[in-house]
């Protein structure tokens, strides 16, 4: 190579036999001082070496070049394979590629994204994230005569299933959920008492099963803990006529005789909002046949942000699923000999007529 090789160990100021942990620690010490995105306003608070005139073993170079070098050095020495090749073949072997026992190692190329390495090491936006978070969002503390002083940790959440009828889902409703929880009833925070608390659930039309309503920190109150959340999970209550499918479709099953399956029929369906739908079937209802009535299913619940939901508060929901009608066949439980004979005669005549119709169709086509 035309330029002298770079000593990555010297860049990070570690010995050649340094462990991976020591290499990482050396990188962290340098990155804290050289990262171009650090807030210099707080540098004196967090970087002790700033009091030493910011001198490092790389100081003859500009900070931008120092920053680039330490990231490139760690990208190599922090990777076991790259480090092994660098130790054995030097920077030339690393950049030109070498033949290894298990195959050819292609030339290494540094990606150039210094902040990528920085964020992978610190796993955060800042090496002082835990300190900054503690200052801006201090932990909740307790101080009682009985328990002393300590950090309050959050209790486990409480989950409850709430069963809603399809009628409630169709129109939407308000549910008042009564819960009993422990509450502190004296100034000294020494006496607890179980009290009734009411939570209000606003069920939007079309709310789907599995929807979670979370009431933050509404659980039991204890002096040394943060109350847990109370979560209500929606489940569908079984309905005598309808079944939900695909979140917003309704399935209705109607029983018919074989005569109706062949000849057609009319029937009525009572909807969830107390209307009567007239259903006319003129097709032959073969196995697997479905009648789909558009927009007669459940409303399609939309997850709107606060501003949009206020704007649409008084608007009617116009998006609905479909009503899917499936059919069950009613077969006779018993046939007499005479009934069987009549059935055979009917189907024989039926098949003859069917063949005549097919012959006429072929004749017209030709």
Any idea where the domains of the chain sit in the sequence? Answer: 8-133, 141-236, 242-331
**pLDDT over threshold 80, residue 89:** yes
- Give tens-digit pLDDT for 139-173: 777 677 777 777 788 899 999 999 999 999 999 99
pLDDT band at 324 (very low <50, low <70, confident <90, very high): very high
User: Mind giving me the DSSP string for 316-364?
Assistant: PP--B--EEEEEEEE--S---HHHHHHHHHHHHHHHHHHHHHHHHHHHH
Q: Is CATH 2.60.260.20 what the domain over 242-331 is classified as, yes or no?
A: yes
In this predicted structure, what is the pLDDT of residue 39? 57
Q: Is CATH 1.10.287.110 what the domain over 8-133 is classified as, yes or no?
A: yes
Sign of CA dihedral 186, 188, 189, 193: negative
212-215 and 230-236 strand pairing: antiparallel
Q: Is CATH 2.40.70.10 what the domain over 141-236 is classified as, yes or no?
A: no
Cβ contact 32:70 at 8 Å: no
Q: Do domains 141-236 and 242-331 have the same CATH topology?
A: yes
Q: How much is the pTM?
A: 0.58
- Give tens-digit pLDDT for 334-350: 999 999 999 999 999 98
What are 329's two structure tokens? Answer: 């066949």
pLDDT band at 316 (very low <50, low <70, confident <90, very high): low
pLDDT band at 259 (very low <50, low <70, confident <90, very high): very high
């Amino acid at each position: 190579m035309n330029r002298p090789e770079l000593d990555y160990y010297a860049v990070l100021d570690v010995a050649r036999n340094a462990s991976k942990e020591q290499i990482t620690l050396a990188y962290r010490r340098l990155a804290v001082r050289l990262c171009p995105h650090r807030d210099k306003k707080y540098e004196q608070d967090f970087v002790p070496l700033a009091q030493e005139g910011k001198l490092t073993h790389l100081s003859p170079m500009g900070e931008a070049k120092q920053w680039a070098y330490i990231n490139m050095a760690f990208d190599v020495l922090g990777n076991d394979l790259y480090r092994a090749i660098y130790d054995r073949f030097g920077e030339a072997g690393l950049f030109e590629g070498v033949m290894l026992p298990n195959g050819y190692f292609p030339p290494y190329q540094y990606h150039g994204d210094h902040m990528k390495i920085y964020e992978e090491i610190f796993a955060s936006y800042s090496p002082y994230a835990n300190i900054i978070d503690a200052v801006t969002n201090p932990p909740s503390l307790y101080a009682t005569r009985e328990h002393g002083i300590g950090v309050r940790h959050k209790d486990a959440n409480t989950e409850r299933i709430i069963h809603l009828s399809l009628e409630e889902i169709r129109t939407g409703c308000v549910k008042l959920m009564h819960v009993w929880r422990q509450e502190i009833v004296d100034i000294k925070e020494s006496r607890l008492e179980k009290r009734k608390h009411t939570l209000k659930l606003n069920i939007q039309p079309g709310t789907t099963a599995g929807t979670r309503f979370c009431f933050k920190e509404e659980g039991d109150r204890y002096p040394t803990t943060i109350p847990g959340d109370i979560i209500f999970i929606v489940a569908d209550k079984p309905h005598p006529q309808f079944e939900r499918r695909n979140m917003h479709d309704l399935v209705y099953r109607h029983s018919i005789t074989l005569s109706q399956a062949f000849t057609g029929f009319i029937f009525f369906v009572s909807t969830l909002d107390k209307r009567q739908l007239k259903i006319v079937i003129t097709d032959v209802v073969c196995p697997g046949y479905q009648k789909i009535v558009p927009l007669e299913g459940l409303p399609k619940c939309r997850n709107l942000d606060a501003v949009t939901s206020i704007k649409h508060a008084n608007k009617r929901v116009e998006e609905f699923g479909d009503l899917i009608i499936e059919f069950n066949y009613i077969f006779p439980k018993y046939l007499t000999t005479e009934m069987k004979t009549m059935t055979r005669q009917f189907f024989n005549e039926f098949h003859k007529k069917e063949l005549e119709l097919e012959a006429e169709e072929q004749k017209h086509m030709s």
